[in-house]
Structure 1
Amino acid sequence: MGLHGKLVAAIEFKAGGDVFHELLRHRPQDISTISPEIVKGCDLHEGEFGHVGSIISWDYIHDGKVKKAKEVIQLIDEEKKLIQFKVIEGDLMELYKDLIITIHVETNGGIDLVTCTMEYEMLNEDVEHPISILSLFIDLTKSIETHHLAQP
């Protein structure tokens, strides 16, 4: 079994891809208000929201427990509506040596897709692939979509 992996999920987002990208890039702290059952908090530790090099801390619910993750924004590409985070601290670092999460929005045939790509290296062969984390992201994306579709 290899220790490196890559998981990808593309989710249709009916509320408009620009809405999702804008929220994640410039107002991630609002996600805890939109989806409190998944995200408990988002704090800026260093830099500014939406800028490369900034460090963000997340409190989230995974497997029924509050977990923490600290991420640095590694890359932003406005044209591709792409943001890349590298997890640098938190519960996930107990399982993964390296975890990079890239989220981008693409429009294909008039349909907006939010794509999450997780590239990772497990600490050892006993660690499971982060499928449940990817599933959590899918649930979060659908929750954000539902919230925005309900807005007048």
Structure 2
Amino acid sequence: MASLPCKLVGQIAFKAGGDIFHSLLTSNPGHFTKAAPSKIQSCTLLNGTYATEGSIIEWNYTHEGKTETAKQVITNLDEEKKQVSYKFIEGDLVQLYKNLIVTFHVETSGGVDFITWTIDYELVNADVPHPITLLKLAIELTVDIETHIFG
């Protein structure tokens, strides 16, 4: 039986400015190791350059109390929309989810910048939980970055 595509979406206001968040995640994601060292242990560019489609980035991070790894390729980068998509190609989460893509984009509404995280995926089987904890990690990371910026 074929699995159905699934989607989780979370959004949070970002007082430090969406441009700053977009710039950090696209051009300097290694800074996340300084802003949230309990969550992100390393970020290594393996191929290409940051902020370029097709580039491959490897992350070591803590998820649900365990150290995990992820290799991602940048599949969509839209500077005008301040949107970036990362497809997981290796790592712990690809054992649980097929076609796992995490996208973030910045929206401005009423003068407030919002960071929206979208996780598109398919479960490898019916026993696998939906990646709600991954969405929670993305939201917590966003808060940690804002706290780091404001000191």
Q: TM-score over 0.5 for the alignment?
A: yes
Q: Cα distance, 1:141 vs. partner?
A: 0.3
Q: Distance in 2 between matches of 1:148 and 1:53?
A: 29
Q: Distance in 2 between matches of 1:49 and 1:71?
A: 12
> Corresponding residue for 1:99?
100
| 1:53–1:73 CA contact under 8 A, matched in 2 | yes
Q: Cα distance, 1:65 vs. partner?
A: 1.0
* TM-score (normalised: structure 2): 0.96
Structure 1 unaligned residues grouped into runs of 5+:
none
Q: Distance in 2 between matches of 1:39 and 1:102?
A: 18
1:56 matched to 2:57: yes
Residue identity opposite 1:142 in structure 2: V
Residue identity opposite 1:59 in structure 2: N
Q: Cα distance, 1:124 vs. partner?
A: 0.5
What is the correspondence of 1:16-27 to structure 2 with a 5 Å cutoff?
Answer: 16-27=17-28
Between 3-12 and 36-45, report the one with greater CA deviation: 3-12
Residue identity opposite 1:21 in structure 2: H
Q: Cα distance, 1:4 vs. partner?
A: 2.4
Q: Distance in 2 between matches of 1:79 and 1:108?
A: 16
SS in 2 for 1:93: helix
> Corresponding residue for 2:140?
139
| 1:106–1:112 CA contact under 8 A, matched in 2 | yes
- Give the alignment's Cα RMSD to 1 decimal: 0.8
SS in 1 for 2:30: helix
> Corresponding residue for 1:36?
37
> Corresponding residue for 1:108?
109
Residue identity opposite 1:48 in structure 2: T
Residue identity opposite 1:120 in structure 2: Y
1:83 matched to 2:67: no
Q: Percent identity?
A: 51
| 1:98–1:122 CA contact under 8 A, matched in 2 | no
Q: Name segments (4+ residues, structure 1) moved above 4 Å.
A: none
* TM-score (normalised: structure 1): 0.96
Q: Distance in 2 between matches of 1:117 and 1:124?
A: 21
Q: Cα distance, 1:30 vs. partner?
A: 1.0
Q: Cα distance, 1:3 vs. partner?
A: 4.0
Q: Distance in 1 between matches of 2:58 and 2:65?
A: 19
